[in-house]
């Protein structure tokens, strides 16, 4: 099959609203958006608070450790989560292996250090005077943190976008813990691998196109939020 033929088939599937293809897209979005929301809820506030601690040797050590985790190979993260959730593992009784929940967990593990590290850097880049200006005008400690986060908004959105890029494109970890089960845990990346191996280039290319468009679209949305000052 030529590339052009594959592309033609892909477009047909897209515009005919092929339920199989769009089902996989929906599941991908469900898993990745839920994972990124959870990771951001945990990592952004933590990054903001740690970013406000200017001088601390323990923090420096933590940053080095977190930076190492930012480059964690996804398949290793998948392996660790797999072992934890497997029947003999410490969390085996939860029976989460090969479920969407397991895929969300592993994506949170992958996105968390990225969002944390970039959030921390974004907050550290805000001049200390901003927090003091808020404080002298009567801001409580929580309001001071919010004032700093508002100034770091662009960097925080980049952090979330980077995390989203990581989890949307991830294949090895979700394959391990999700099992790529049709109709249950099959997402775009794992489906692309499977369909390519089976010679279904049309479906594989269609999914690839959607993956690229989603990635670009979500990043544009995040940038637009930053540019329009959504928190003002």
Binding site for other proteins (CB under 8 A): 127, 129-130, 132-139, 143, 147, 150-151, 229, 232
3-class SS letters over 106-160: HHHHHHHHHHHHHHHHHHHCCCHHHHHHHHHCCCCHHHHHHHHHHHCHHHHHHHH
d(CA 137, CA 132): 8
Q: Which is nearer to other proteins, 216 or 224 (CB)?
A: 224
Cα angle vertex 101, ends 97, 217, to 5°?
130
The minimum distance between CB 75 and other proteins, in angstroms, equals 41
Q: Which is nearer to other proteins, 133 or 212 (CB)?
A: 133
| Gap between the terminal Cα atoms of the chain | 52
H/E run at residue 139: none
Q: Which is nearer to other proteins, 40 or 149 (CB)?
A: 149
The minimum distance between CB 122 and other proteins, in angstroms, equals 13
Q: Which is nearer to other proteins, 197 or 232 (CB)?
A: 232
The minimum distance between CB 46 and other proteins, in angstroms, equals 23
The minimum distance between CB 145 and other proteins, in angstroms, equals 13
């Amino acid at each position: 099959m030529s590339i052009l033929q594959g592309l033609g088939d892909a477009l047909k599937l897209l515009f005919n609203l092929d339920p199989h293809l769009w089902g996989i897209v929906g599941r991908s979005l469900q898993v990745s958006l839920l994972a990124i929301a959870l990771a951001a809820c945990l990592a952004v506030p933590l990054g903001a608070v740690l970013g406000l601690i200017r001088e601390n040797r323990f923090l420096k050590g933590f940053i080095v450790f977190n930076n190492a985790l930012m480059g964690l190979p996804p398949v290793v993260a998948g392996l660790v989560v797999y072992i934890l959730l497997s029947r003999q593992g410490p969390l085996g009784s939860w029976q989460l292996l090969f479920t969407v929940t397991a895929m969300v967990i592993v994506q949170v593990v992958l996105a968390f250090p990225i969002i944390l590290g970039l959030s921390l850097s974004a907050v550290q880049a805000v001049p200390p005077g901003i927090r003091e200006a808020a404080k002298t005008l009567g801001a409580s400690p929580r309001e001071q943190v919010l004032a700093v986060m508002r100034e770091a908004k662009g960097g925080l959105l980049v952090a979330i976008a980077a995390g989203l890029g990581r989890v949307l494109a991830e294949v090895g970890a979700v394959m391990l813990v999700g099992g790529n089960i049709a109709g249950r845990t099959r997402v775009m990346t794992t489906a692309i691998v499977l369909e390519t191996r089976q010679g279904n280039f049309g479906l594989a290319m269609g999914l690839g196109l959607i993956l690229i468009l989603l990635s670009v679209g979500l990043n544009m949305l995040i940038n637009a939020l930053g540019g329009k000052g959504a928190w003002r």
